[in-house]
Each structure stands twice: as C-alpha cells, then as structure tokens.
Amino acid sequence: MFISHSSSASDVMVDLDEAHKNRDDEAESSSRRRANVSTASNDVSLSNGRMLRASTSNEENDSDSGTLKSRRRTHSGSKVEDHILRWNGKVFYTAGRPPWYDNSGYQLREPFIIGICGGSASGKTTVANRIIEALDIQWVTLLSMDSFYKVLTPEQHQAALNNKHDFDHPDAFDFDLLYRTLIRLKEGKRVEVPVYNFSTHSREKMNKTMYGASVLIFEGILAFHRKDILDMMNLKVFVDTDADIRLARRLSRDILERGRDVEGVLEQYNNFVKPAFDSFIAPCMRYADVIIPRGGENHVGIDLIVFHVKTCLHDLTVKNRAQLAMGALNGRNGNGLQAKPPPSLHVLKQTPQIR
C-alpha cells in the first residue's frame, strides 16, 4: 500500500484499519478452509471404518456360508504368546535372545539351566515366573515340555478326542527333539520350538522362535525322566503340591482353557494322570536339589533358589573383553587357543598409500 505525502493523518489511519481487517478476514478464511478439510478427512475415515466393518462382517457371513474358510483362534497349552513378562514396571523376555555380547562385555560361558519338575497343575510355570521376576535378568529362556508332545496317529487322535489317550506317559513326548533343542539353546543358538494345541490335540503349523540366554528354565511333568537331560541341569527343583489342589486346578484349566467337560477331565485324571504321577513323576523327587511345597505360594523357598542362582551367575560370569584383550597380546583367542583369522577374512597386500 502506498501513502502519499498529501494524505491526511485520518486517511492514513483509515487505510491501516482496513488493511488489518482484510488481513484478519484472510486468516479467518484460511482457518475455515483447514477446518473443512479436517472435517472431510474425519468423515472419510469414519466412512472407511464403516466400510471396513461392513466388509469384515460380509467376510464372516461368507465364511459361515462356506464361501471362505473360517479361521478361529484356539488356546494352546504350549504358550504361543509373545514371551513377554511384565512385573513391577519391568519387562522380561522369556524367549531368550540372540547370542551376542552386551555393551559392557559381560557374557556367560554357558547358560545356567534350571529344571522344574512336578505333577500336572502343581504350579511349575508359576514357580518359573516367580524365579524370573526375582532374578531381575532381562533375557531368560523359558521352555515348556508341553511343546514336545508327539504328533498323533489318526487312531491316537480319535482316542484323544474321547479322553482315551495317555498324555502323561513318557512315550507321549518327543524326547529326542527335546534333547536337541536344549543342546542348541545351551550353545546359544536359535531354535524353532513346536506349538502344541491341546484343543485339537495337534501341532500348529507355525513354530515359535527362541534363543539361548543367560538363564534357561525348563519345566515339565517329566523334566527329570531322561538322564542325559537331567545331567544338563545346574539346579533341579521339584514342585510338590497336594493332589486335591492339583486336581482342582486341572479341572479349572481344562474346562476354561481347553474346552473339556467335567466328566472327561475326571476320567482322564483317574485313568492316566494319577497313575503316571505315582509311577513316573513322584519317583523323580529323589533327583531334586530343592523341593518346593505349595508351589508359587512358597515365597521363602523361591527366594532361596533365587539367591543361589544369583551366586552361581556371579561365579560363572566373565568379562570377555578383558579376556580377549589379554589373549590378543599373546596371540591367543578367548579360549586360550592360537588365534586364527576366519576363512571369510581376506588380508590385502599393503600398498604405499596404507603403509
């Protein structure tokens, strides 16, 4: 805007007021346009949401009519969740971790392996989780024996549906696969663990990936049954819970989580679960280093276990960077052997530029 020298002061003030008013009008108009765009965007999102829900509903209807195959999520007794345990504001990863060193250079030569044995529904998993919470170690591998049930034949599968198959006998487990899995975890390697579905009595198509870690906890009703697996354990814990409490827990679990009926659970308990406990599980108590009465409710017993494990971890832990540095001065690797470059390392000849 140009103001001539001949304009009066009042004319100048009027022109300035009009300019400010026009500027405010333009700002208000721009704000309205932005609001309209935002409203339109919300309307579109709402419309898309309705369309999405309608599409989902149609797919479900088509699925019920046989057009599409229905996909239903079932409960799995072998724990197919994301292996995260949250407690007291902290996060613990129970699937282990890839075998690399941490930032401080500390690592264990081998993981500390805890075996937990006990009858069905005695509280083995609860004890394992209590130990993980009290240890306060972020990376722990928690492996359940439930994942290693054998694949059933058609005849065995039909018997399982009628509560006629014995899942508590040692022959029901794939001990060879279990042993190989424990060996790889002990070496800090990645493993693919089967996921067993107790509702369908079959293995899921998708496995779960687990890694070695500082502490490996293995729990199962027959965790102490095979000697070569028993010899791998640094600490053996037996969870001793009253038979009536175990039966009550099993009734609640199998009915609510696995879709069983009361008669079927009682029939299976009397025919298979109780005889297997008396014949195979209870005799394993003599191999235990620690016996925990009342399971996860025994806080004193769990605290003693945690104290012992922490002491052993402190003794096993070595500072690898210092060890490797000292070995490098003597031309040795971290294990005291003569250091040799890996086959994938190619040393180029020196040139005048890099000498």
Instruction: Say if residue 33 is in the same domain as residue 153.
Output: no
DSSP-derived pairing of the beta strands 106-108 and 317-319: antiparallel
pTM: 0.64
Instruction: Say if residue 164 is in the same domain as residue 199.
Output: yes
The end-to-end CA distance of the chain, in Å, is 71
Instruction: Please give the pLDDT value at position 164.
Output: 93
349 within domain boundaries: no
Instruction: Please give the pLDDT value at position 66.
Output: 42
Number of domains in the chain: 2
- Given phi > 0 = left and psi -120 to 50 = alpha, else beta, which region is 123? left
- Given phi > 0 = left and psi -120 to 50 = alpha, else beta, which region is 149? beta
79 within domain boundaries: no
Element (H, E) at 186: helix 175-186
Instruction: Please give the pLDDT value at position 331.
Output: 57
Instruction: Say if residue 285 is in the same domain as residue 223.
Output: yes
In which domain, by residue range, is 126 found?
A: 84-317
Beta carbons of 236 and 290 less than 8 angstroms apart:
yes
Beta carbons of 306 and 134 less than 8 angstroms apart:
yes
Instruction: Say if residue 42 is in the same domain as residue 133.
Output: no
Beta carbons of 213 and 104 less than 8 angstroms apart:
no
Beta carbons of 284 and 221 less than 8 angstroms apart:
no
Biggest alpha carbon distance in the chain? 116
CATH code: domain of residue 138: 3.40.50.300
Instruction: Please give the pLDDT value at position 353.
Output: 74
- Write the CB contacts of 109 (distance below 8 Å, at least 6 apart in sequence): 316, 318
347 within domain boundaries: no
What is the rounded CA–CA span in Å between residue 110 and residue 324? 17
Instruction: Say if residue 58 is in the same domain as residue 128.
Output: no
Instruction: Say if residue 25 is in the same domain as residue 169.
Output: no
- Write the CB contacts of 84 (distance below 8 Å, at least 6 apart in sequence): 91, 92, 93, 94
What is the rounded CA–CA span in Å between residue 85 and residue 335? 35
Beta carbons of 126 and 172 less than 8 angstroms apart:
no
Instruction: Please give the pLDDT value at position 12.
Output: 37
User: Residue 254: which of 128, 81, 77 has the closest Cα?
Assistant: 77
Q: Which residues of the chain have pLDDT under 70?
A: 1-109, 317-342, 354-355
352 within domain boundaries: no
Kindly tell me the number of DSSP H helices and DSSP E strands found in the chain: 10, 13
Instruction: Please give the pLDDT value at position 137.
Output: 81
Instruction: Please give the pLDDT value at position 247.
Output: 96
Beta carbons of 70 and 115 less than 8 angstroms apart:
no
Supply 341's token pair.
């470059």
218 within domain boundaries: yes
Instruction: Please give the pLDDT value at position 315.
Output: 77
Instruction: Please give the pLDDT value at position 312.
Output: 86
Beta carbons of 93 and 138 less than 8 angstroms apart:
yes
Q: In sequence order, what are the beta bridge partners of 191?
A: 210
What is the rounded CA–CA span in Å between residue 304 and residue 293? 13
